[in-house]
Amino acid sequence: MGIDKKRVVTTSSRGLSWLKEQEPQTVKDISRSIQALSLWDEPASFLIEKLISMKKDGYWETETPVNDTARSCIALSMGGNIQSESMRWLQDQQKDDNWNNNEIDTAYALMALGDGRIKNENGCEWLVRNYGVKWEHPGTTSLIITALEKQDKKKYEDFIKDRAEWLISKRQDGGWTYIATSNLVIQALLISGLDEQEIAPSISWLLGKQEGNGSWKDIISTTLSLISLKMCLDKFNSGSDQ
């Protein structure tokens, strides 16, 4: 059974309507909103201006500056707005091949650099070398897969394939417990090369989690869901012209 493409488009339309009524305030919420709106070719200029205005001294000064600076760079790069100064800031934060001795920070930094076409082999090797049971969580593994795919998919092909199969083995009723986590997994699997039949149960699960108002509970879960659904349509050649 394949993916119900028409349902994906209809469900996404309702999600976008809800999202456009929101007023995101945090760097994380604004960045994810820009990503979702940009992917769906919806206006995001106001949010882009707002996000850029929140930058200070080349980065976004929050409780998690590496994560939020990386997320901001990822979101802005989707519209071709490469934040070169922020990319340099991210590179300067790398110590002993990683960022903050943290797998999440390192994965996000590598994603942002990858989107800016900046290769960072040391960071990738640090993730692969240190990957083990302590990082064997669906969300964490998905972020690592995505980082490696954006940096050098061919080089890390075997690792990505192995971890993608592990993620599938942890799927329950189509999802991975939480909506946000499940979206990170779906996105990693979509770019890892899985076919439509393998992804279909998770897309069906995700569609079924939409609430009556068009959202998936909150801004983060909604934007991640919209990103996953558009990536799905783009990958399987269905809704790009809808």
Whether the full predicted model's pTM is greater than 0.75, yes or no, is yes
Instruction: Give the integer Cα–Cα distance in Å for 140 and 134.
Output: 10
pLDDT over 90 (residue 38): yes
Instruction: Give the integer Cα–Cα distance in Å for 176 and 205.
Output: 10
DSSP reduced 3-state for 140 = helix
Cα torsion 112, 113, 116, 118 to 10°: value is -170
Domains annotated on the chain, with CATH: 5-235 (1.50.10.20)
Residue 238: pLDDT band (50, 70, 90) is very low
Confidence (pLDDT) at 118: 96
What are the pLDDT digits (tens) for 191-222?
Answer: 998 889 999 999 999 999 999 999 999 999 99
pLDDT over 60 (residue 235): yes
Check residues 82 and 131 and name the one with the higher pLDDT: 131
H-run or E-run covering 51? helix 45-53
Residue 95: pLDDT band (50, 70, 90) is very high
Distances in Å between the alpha carbon of 7 and those of 117, 179, 187? 35, 18, 19
What are the pLDDT digits (tens) for 116-163?
Answer: 999 999 999 999 999 999 999 999 999 999 999 999 999 999 999 999
